Structure 1
Amino acid sequence: MQSYTYLIIDLCCISIPFIASFYPKHAFYKEWKPFFLANIIVGFFFLVWDADFTLNGIWGFNPDYVIGLNIFNLPIEEVLFFVSIPYACVFTYFSLKYLVQNNPLVTFQKIISILFILILLLVGIMSLDKWYTSITSLITAVYLIFQVIRKRDLSYQYLSYLIVLPFFFVSNGILTGSFLESPIVWYNDAENLGIRLFTIPVEDIFYGMLLIFLNIDLYEFFKSKFLNN
């Protein structure tokens, strides 16, 4: 069973959102077309990024916790990660848009974005010798700058990510070694700040945020296209 550990984590992350997607009064399965179109595009970008970092030893995977089926140099479980996590998070966003009519973060979302931009630019520029830190920080900063220029309201994205963060700490904590003899995903600390939240590199917070926000953005883009046709 040990070799199925990563696969089980993927399935646990997506199982409840998948089942809840068929709730008759507000069914997310009807949104699958815009979601999966978005997910394919964002997933491809992240898989190329992931494969390159794996090839260059910035991170890697413990063969004891995967079934041994690879796509290029990535375990199939890692590929599924980029479907299961976005699915769960976009489902959360979809649900919150329906359940939360008055988002408490609306007033502060621009300030949050600007603070993140300043911090990420500073960290990214000061850490150019650390690939994971610099690339994650700078790409996320550029993304947020673009959203601020567009005057895009990110309040529901921030709220959704805040809601899923406890689950992120559990799932990503296990992946990075919590409750296990060794991590499923290991990191080369020469390429990051070496700051851990429990066992999770702090960079994962913004890597995950970028992954989710891009999925939500493209999901909303394709959804609007289908509604207008």
Structure 2
Amino acid sequence: MQQYTYLLINFFTVIICFIFSFHHKIKFNRYFGAFLSASLIVGAVFVIWDAWFTKIGVWWFNDRYLLGIRFAGLPLEELLFFICIPFACLFTYFCLDKFFKLDWKPLPEKIFVIISIILALCIAFWFREKIYTFITFLSTACSLFILKFLLKVRWIGKVSFVYLLLMPGFLMVNGILTGTGLESPIVNYNPDEFMGIRMLTIPVEDTVYGYELILWNIFLFQWFKKPESASMVEVEA
């Protein structure tokens, strides 16, 4: 059963969200196409990043917990991760945004983004010899700048709050992947390539990596959702 561990983590992460997607008050299933388009595009970028880091030994995977099927050097389960995790996060964001008013006022959000960018750039510069830390914090700073000041999105504060609410689930899922409750980690990290600060067994960089992943998934989901929503209105009319 050990070889199914990572696969089961993906399954249990997504299954409840998937079932409730069809609930008549949520109807997230109407946007499966938008989600899939967004997750495949964002996932492609992160898979390239993932494959590169795996190749140069920033991290590697424990075959004991894998089916043994690999593409571009990555386990099948790792590829599914970039669909299952965004699905659970996007579904949660969709529901909370639908039923609660979580919008931030423009000024506090702008201040939050500016502070986040400066902090991320400082960490990236300070740990510039640690490739995981450097690239993760630098790319996140760039993503925040692009989304807020070039693409003019108005939901970064809202997404950040939802991501904070998702932290218990993140700590559980990523905790197992990094060794919590297991004899050895599913994902192992080269200690020379990250800060060395962990939450339980989870490198701090993982939380930032996940944050950037979700930001771009939500941006593209919103982009693809608009034409779908318009066509649904036309059909209902």
TM-score between both structures, scaled by the size of structure 1: 0.95
The aligned counterpart of 1:133 is 133
C-alpha distance 193-145 of structure 1, shift in aligned 2 (>3 A): same
Structure 1 residues 188-229: Cα deviation after superposition (integer angstroms, max 9, x where no partner)? 010100111110000001100000111000000111233456
Matched residue, 1:207? 209
Count of residues paired in the alignment: 228
Mapping for residues 44-83 of structure 1, pairs under 5 Å: 44-83=44-83
Deviations for 1:36-82, whole angstroms, at most 9, x for unmatched residues? 00111000000010000000000000010111111120110100100
> SS of 2:77's equivalent?
helix
Structure 1 residue runs of 5 or longer lacking an equivalent are: none
Using the alignment, how far apart are the partners of 2:24 and 2:63 within structure 1? 41
* Separation (CA, whole Å) in 2 of partners of 1:13 and 1:139: 26
What is the 5 A alignment of 1:1-229?
Answer: 1-101=1-101, 103=102, 105-106=104-105, 108-150=108-150, 151-153=152-154, 154-228=156-230
Q: Which amino acid aligns with 1:182?
A: S
Distance in 2 separating the partners of 1:19 and 1:227: 21
**Structure 1 residue 106, shift from structure 2 partner:** 4.1
Task: Find the residue that maps to 2:166 and give its secondary structure.
Answer: helix
Amino acid at match of 1:224: K
Q: Could you tell me which runs of 5 or more consecutive residues in structure 2 were left unpaired when the two chains were aligned.
A: 232-237
Rounded to whole Å, the distance in 2 between the matches of 1:96 and 1:123 is 31
> Among the aligned pairs, what percent are the same residue?
43
Distance 1:134 1:155 in 2: 24
Secondary structure of residue in 2 paired with 1:183:
coil
Q: 2:31–2:228: 8 Å Cα contact kept in structure 1?
A: no
CA contact (8 A) 1:105 1:159 kept: no
